[in-house]
Structure 1
Amino acid sequence: MQFDDLGLDRRLLSLIAHRGFEQPTDIQRQAIPVVMAGKDLLASSKTGSGKTLAFLLPAMQRVLRSKPLSRRDPRVLILAPTRELAKQVYGQLRMLTSGTTHKAALVLGGENFNEQAKVFRQSPTFVVATPGRLADHLKQRNVSLSGLEMLILDEADRMLDLGFKEQLDSVNAHAEHRLRQTLMFSATLDHQQVTEIAAGMLKSPKRVAVGEAERLHSDIEQHFVLCDHLDHKQALLEHLMKANVHKQVMIFTATRADTERLAERFTQAGYKAIALSGELNQASRSRIMNEFERGFHEVLVTTDVASRGLDLLNVSLVINFDMPKHAEEYVHRVGRTGRAGHQGLSYSLVGPKDWRSFKNIEGFLQQKLEFTAIEGLEGKFKGFKEKKVPNKKSPGPAKRQKTPVKKQPKAPKKRDKSFYNNVPVGDVPLAKKKTKPES
């Protein structure tokens, strides 16, 4: 199937062809016709599957081909869990709106609230926002959603995990009318809260599930390496950087301190490296990601703040210096490479402190993961043996205990009551008569 077969507007087809997209991905092929038919959609797909265009293309189609319900209110609202993902969606949206009269606004937490209020007064057609900041603007009545035509929730499971259910309910209440179409994308459809909120926000939705969220792309080659301690990890990290040909590298750590320390270490070694963590302010984070995306830096050392939503085509190597706490984050981290048909490579360093996380990932991926040995850097740590729980035999039916028989008191012995020389001797034992010694 080609994009031409989906019935998209010729202006959209021209933009798609200009970007080099020829055939729709699985999620695009299944989702776009459903959305263009006006149906609500509940969809899941693995990371890097092209789901962003799966909802942006039909949203643009609706805007280009139909009249607005309101000339003042936004027509399409896209909510994303993090600022990084919202920026990535906004970047692709700007590509589609270029050359049209339709404006797009990006509304993020941590940025100037009053400036965002001014943007709403310009009546943008599209709004891409994080749920917390949008809820704040709704409280201040800076924006109205009465004329909203399409509500899109990207990575709804992540938004719920981050505690945005109250904000999502608020958005739903402000845009509650029968003409609204709602699209919900989630990494998994088995998420209990996703199921609950979908029941309240979507009307008879079509369900689309492409692939399995816990599976990685077949074009990502993954390796796991056992290591003993921090110094061993750093030696392995430096070896992997030198041994593998790469364009750009992302290194994931557990703490901000490690991002800064490793970035400085690689800078001293001659690499163009930079650190990114969630504790930086929004302006710094935006600048760092923009510079990395444009190729100004070769190595990005980061926490999980950059594990989702970033479409970085030049990242050919991902290294987990520390294993993630949550198993699903492993898929998102490694999914930063091997995108858009490119080959990807990942290495995960597993030390004693990472063992439990490794076993959780193994269970999440539902496969037995093998370890790769690096010649000359083999470690002594071989993993922890799982404790075998003894199989306790189930007790059989309880044996019937015999009721103890009470002992009857013994009958008193009958004594001889006979008389001897008119003396009763029955009660007195007979004494043996002493013999007198002969004189």
Structure 2
Amino acid sequence: MSGPEVKKHRAKFKKGRINRNSKVTKTKINHLKLSVDCESNEISRLIEKCINASVEENCKFSDFPLSKKTLQGLTQSQYKIPTAIQRESILPALQGKDILATAKTGSGKTLAFLIPIFEKLYVNQWTRLDGLGALIITPTRELALQIFETVAKIGKHHDFTTGLIIGGQNLKFEKSRLHQLNIIICTPGRVLQHMDQNPLFDSTNLKILVLDEADRCLDMGFEVTMNSIIENLPVERQTLLFSATQTKSVKDLARLNLQNPVYIAPHEKEQYTTPHRLQQNYVVIEQKNKLTMLWSFLRAHAKQKVIIFFATCKQVKFFYEIFRKLRPSALLLPLYGGMNQEKRNKIYTEFCARSNVCLMATDIASRGLDFPKVNWVVQLDCPEDAIQYIHRAGRAARLNTSGESLLVLIPQEENGMIEQLQKSKVPISKIHIDEKQLFSPLVKIQSFLAQSPELKESAKRAFVAYVKSVALMKDKSVFKVSNLDMEAYARSLGLLVTPRVRFLSKIGAAPKNVHTDLKVTVAEDDVDSSGDELFTVKCSGIPVVEEKTTSPLIKGTKKKITKVKLMKKASVTNKKIVFDDSGHETELKHDEVYDIEKARVELMLGDAEDKERYKALKKAKRVAQKEKLKRKSEEHDEVESVDHFDSGNEQSVDLNWLPDPDKIYVNHSSSGSVVDHKVPKVAVKVTKKRRTVNVSDITLNEAERLAMDLLQ
């Protein structure tokens, strides 16, 4: 058990929480005391052995001054004999020295800095209460994930807490647990975000800083971020730099505040800088034939594990989509920077587990990743420099395994790139492709693009992204955007029309086979019977201009005239042409000339009058609508106020016309006096729910029934 656990049990013992007379408690305390004493003795032994240790060429991990927990993890993971970089860098790192190490790809650099981290924290008896003890910074998320898995495998017997801090993960979850971590594996942007926003991030006790792929972490892409991170770290610390192509810049080393660093390069004196079991070749083809070559290559190597590197993310996306529709026999997987982190992790794991699969990736997969048993690495687009080529090709032939690398170049890139590779001691030979084995899927690709507008837009974006990447490359002896055959490259992607690259107009590049001047052709085929020639101008709707205006440059400037500018310049506004009866042009009188300023004023006045008239119409319409609503509401109130059961209401039913039951009406006729109970002829107007009823010549009984109906 560790020292803090013993202190914890002793505190409980003093407070009386543990029964002093218990035999189990006494045995446990004695066991804790014994384990602490053994751990202290082991730490003392390791410190003494580390000072006087010396490593022979044929040694094992057990010959190093390592703790039992570390050796146990190495043994269970089948690590017995250290590699050259591990043999030369572990002991100086254990002695507390700063390390500047470089080695070939796949030589085991990860263990070379993980073992010193475990031992450093173990000797200092590091616990969760001590906070952050080691910080490992990597340029890519996949590499950070790979290191995290190695830490979990090698250091599982230690009591250190390890955290993976990369982009694309839950930020709140990381913030709440960051103060409990002893070892943090991170990318530069994410850890800087925690330094700025998370008050729980504390690096005051940091003992060791590791930069994996240090040259990439310190280059221009991460320069500002790394400067901010280094400012937040303590000055007194141990720093380890590891990479396959190490930086020797005094400026970079000064930024990291290295104290007498030990430079380790076990392969520096070797003949080649790449693994000796890696067979490297290159082929020179035209840009328009790249897609055909790649499709033929995948058909010929369907049962092998292949990585294909592209220059941009949009190229990876398009090639993955179009090749998936073509249905090759091998499984296709894309890996680029714009993907969801969960999906990236899934693709990375799946590619490592399979044996016949093709990974289409950008340079995020070129550094540090340990893909097992990769047969082929194809660099379809030329790398930025020899360093980038070494990292790409190093994904194959790792840890004494064999592999092959193929570099695809276009004619303009061959001389400059091959010269760089020879200076970097890279053995590479030229091969030729048998044209009989090439199978072009261009017809199918054009069909797919015609059926899918989304796929067509993806092809356009891939085209533009590649042209931009070539234009932005620093080495102009290799990358010349002006020599690219734009039209042929667009046709090879299935595009019938070459997309416009606005980026080129800003940098002043003139791509091949792109014309900015107008061409006017005259057809002299048709001749009139009278002998007069009939000329037809064919210019696709563009007006004919004089020969002076077709110059590609504006006089006195360096700007080129585009077709749109020429059309605007050729078009004449405010011009009226009048012809006489014979068809000749006549001059206009002064009063017939169209005054554009006068017309503009008239249009403005007319516009103002239209606005006022429109406002008046809208206002009248609103007033009429309000009056209509008001009348409706009044009529509704009148109808609702009628109470047919209220006899005192003026609008109730008038019953005065009914006969009085106390009176007897007598009709005196000439034949005699006869009593007749008839109601005199009256006209009654009854209103019920806006309906009018005329009553005349009705009897008493009928009148009573009518009254009862109205009352009901």
Equivalent of 2:298 in 227, 237, 241? 241
Residue 414 of structure 2 corresponds to 355
Is 1:73 aligned to residue 136 of structure 2? no
Residue 202 of structure 1 corresponds to 258
Change (3 A) 1:193 1:292: farther
Residue 405 of structure 1 corresponds to none
Is 1:211 aligned to residue 272 of structure 2? no
TM-score w.r.t. length of structure 1: 0.78
Residue 34 of structure 1 corresponds to 92
Deviation at 1:6, TM superposition (A): 1.6
Residue 21 of structure 1 corresponds to 79
- Give the number of the structure whose alpha-carbon radius of gyration is greater: 2
Deviation at 1:377, TM superposition (A): 5.2
Equivalent of 1:336 in 382, 395, 407? 395
Residue 191 of structure 2 corresponds to 134
Matched-pair contact (CA < 8 Å) for 2:304–2:356: no
**Worse-superposed segment, 314-323 or 346-355:** 346-355
Deviation at 1:246, TM superposition (A): 5.6
Matched-pair contact (CA < 8 Å) for 1:144–1:174: no
Residue 324 of structure 1 corresponds to 383
> Distance in 1 between the 2:196 and 2:315 partners?
39
Change (3 A) 1:112 1:162: farther
Bigger relative contact order (CA 8 A; separation at least 6): 1
> Distance in 2 between the 1:129 and 1:295 partners?
27
Matched-pair contact (CA < 8 Å) for 1:157–1:193: no
| TM-superposition CA deviations, 1:303-339 (whole Å, max 9, x none) | 1121112111121211111111233111111100111
Residue 406 of structure 1 corresponds to none
Is 1:312 aligned to residue 368 of structure 2? no
Equivalent of 1:92 in 138, 144, 150? 150
Change (3 A) 1:5 1:283: same
Change (3 A) 1:293 1:246: same
> Distance in 1 between the 2:349 and 2:151 partners?
17
Q: Could you list the runs of 5+ residues in structure 1 that have no partner in the other structure? A: 380-384, 387-439
Change (3 A) 1:357 1:104: farther
Residue 329 of structure 2 corresponds to 270
Amino acid at match of 1:126: I
Amino acid at match of 1:134: V
Deviation at 1:209, TM superposition (A): 1.7
Change (3 A) 1:48 1:163: same
Residue 41 of structure 2 corresponds to none
Matched-pair contact (CA < 8 Å) for 2:77–2:154: no
**Worse-superposed segment, 78-87 or 208-217:** 208-217
Amino acid at match of 1:285: R
Matched-pair contact (CA < 8 Å) for 1:107–1:130: yes
> Distance in 2 between the 1:304 and 1:55 partners?
24
Deviation at 1:238, TM superposition (A): 3.7
Deviation at 1:243, TM superposition (A): 4.2
Superposed, 1:148-297 pairs within 5 Å as 148-178=206-236, 180-186=237-243, 187-198=245-256, 201-212=257-268, 215-230=273-288, 232-244=289-301, 247-267=304-324, 268-295=327-354
Amino acid at match of 1:30: E
| TM-superposition CA deviations, 1:208-258 (whole Å, max 9, x none) | 12224982110100111121233x333433443344586421011123333
Deviation at 1:353, TM superposition (A): 5.4
SS at structure 1 position matched to 2:158 = coil
> Distance in 2 between the 1:177 and 1:193 partners?
17
| TM-superposition CA deviations, 1:55-99 (whole Å, max 9, x none) | 001111222333239824211111112222212211211112324
Amino acid at match of 1:210: P
SS at structure 2 position matched to 1:148 = coil
Amino acid at match of 2:258: L
> Distance in 2 between the 1:4 and 1:149 partners?
25
Deviation at 1:19, TM superposition (A): 2.2
The aligned length equals 376
> Distance in 2 between the 1:83 and 1:264 partners?
24
Change (3 A) 1:78 1:351: same
Matched-pair contact (CA < 8 Å) for 1:103–1:126: yes
CA RMSD of aligned residues (A): 2.8
Change (3 A) 1:14 1:377: farther
Deviation at 1:367, TM superposition (A): 5.7
SS at structure 2 position matched to 1:210 = coil
SS at structure 1 position matched to 2:283 = strand
> Distance in 2 between the 1:137 and 1:193 partners?
26
> Distance in 1 between the 2:427 and 2:369 partners?
28
